[in-house]
A = this chain, B = another copy of it.
């Protein structure tokens, strides 16, 4: 017997039970569901629908259920369609008739929306905490890798020299934005639909502000149809997580390439690598590869629910049950991804010498063009002169710094003795202390600001 089958003359088909049943995944909401039941009982009592004795009985029973859950003692039965029905059943078994009153004036429609919002709030808050942990990790790396000069890349071609700290800090600032997205999503989830009933508003004018306070919501929803029908907060959460995953995948790609023998810039710690079942010499950056791969999955979860939601009329359709699995999966995955990435970055070994050895002297070409520009050669012309110079060096397999002043002058009369001073990495960096640049002073200013944002001592 179902809790809702008064009007039905035939039993639900077994296969339909299975197809329809959401307990396997929505039981993750058990703590939220108990919290909502507690608050709702309080509101019914305030309204005179439950006596003080009934309230006490209910709260005590709910505490018992929570305890049982924490001790792994909850036993679900085949008939439990979802976590809401399961809790109501267990409650009724524990306290009898009073349990049958708990669903007064509410519907699973507003109940599940409230549970889910509580869950999203908690999860986003934890994700934000993990972002902050990663920011601290990245900041620490930036502080320790200040003396590592490396090629900055565009198109995976060496472009200009940068301090490795600058690279790490680029991630810091990106994370700052992802964090802000998480906070916005959290604010959008922080609206309580409870009291919306099935769609028209509860027929019992319970105190919704009291409920919101009990459950820690910032505000109550303004419209009951919106309250039960809207899932934009799920979509935004999935989008925030996908964006974060994509960000991590970009850095994972770099670090995987840097882990190759050919680049040899970093080596993952053994504890974050794996070997091959066949090739004994292999050491693979599997942790980073999985991270990168999982970004696709997070995008898939977003697409999955977006496509489900698209074109779905109001208010509640069972299609909406498909919001949960992608959401829970994305939350679970990004959490472990953040943890793993933090540990990988913390423990990786930077091969400073190998990096420096690999710096291509041509990296200074822009600086030479800038040098000429400062000598009144229009930039576009300077660019062309240095292009020819580069071409000459490549053809003759010599380095720019090996060219004599005389030879240089063949390319432009503006070359002068002072050019020699330009041709080293430290000078190149020193030229870039513009705010946001890779000059050491600029990088240190970034670190100072980052530490302040993280509330770390200066």
Contacts and interface: CB of A to CB of B under 8 A. Distances in A.
Given A85-B277, A200-B161, A316-B154, A283 B386 contact: no
A417 interface: no
Interface string A283-310: 1111101101111110111111111111
A435 B202 CA distance: 9
Interface string A256-295: 1101111100000111111111111111111101101111
Contacts of A100: 378-381
Interface in A170-214: 170-174, 177-178, 180-181, 184, 187-188, 195-206, 208-209
Given A221-B436, A299-B307, A336-B19, A318 B284 contact: yes
A129 B221 CA distance: 23
B284 A154 contact: yes
A179 B208 CA distance: 25
Contacts of A317: 154-156, 289, 293
Interface in A1-32: 2-13, 15-16, 18-20
Given A157-B284, A306-B242, A4 B223 contact: no
Interface in A197-251: 197-206, 208-209, 220-230, 232-233, 235-236, 239, 242-243, 246-247, 249-251
B300 A304 contact: yes
A383 interface: yes
A319 B293 contact: yes
12 contacts: A7-B281, A7-B391, A10-B271, A100-B379, A155-B318, A162-B199, A166-B223, A173-B222, A200-B438, A232-B243, A293-B317, A311-B311
A126 interface: no
B287 A16 contact: yes
Contact of A287 (B19, B223, B259, B434): B19
A133 interface: no
Interface stretch (A67-75, A114-122, A367-375, A401-409): A367-375
Interface string A88-109: 1000100001111111111111
Interface in A33-91: 49, 84-85, 88
Contacts of A373: 49, 101, 104-105
B13 A272 contact: yes
Nearest to A169: B223
Interface in A336-394: 336, 339-340, 343, 358, 360, 362-363, 365-370, 373, 378-381, 383-391, 394
Residue among A106, A275, A276, A386 with the highest chain B CB neighbour number at 10 A: A276
A7 B387 contact: yes
Residue among A100, A109, A301 with the highest chain B CB neighbour number at 10 A: A100
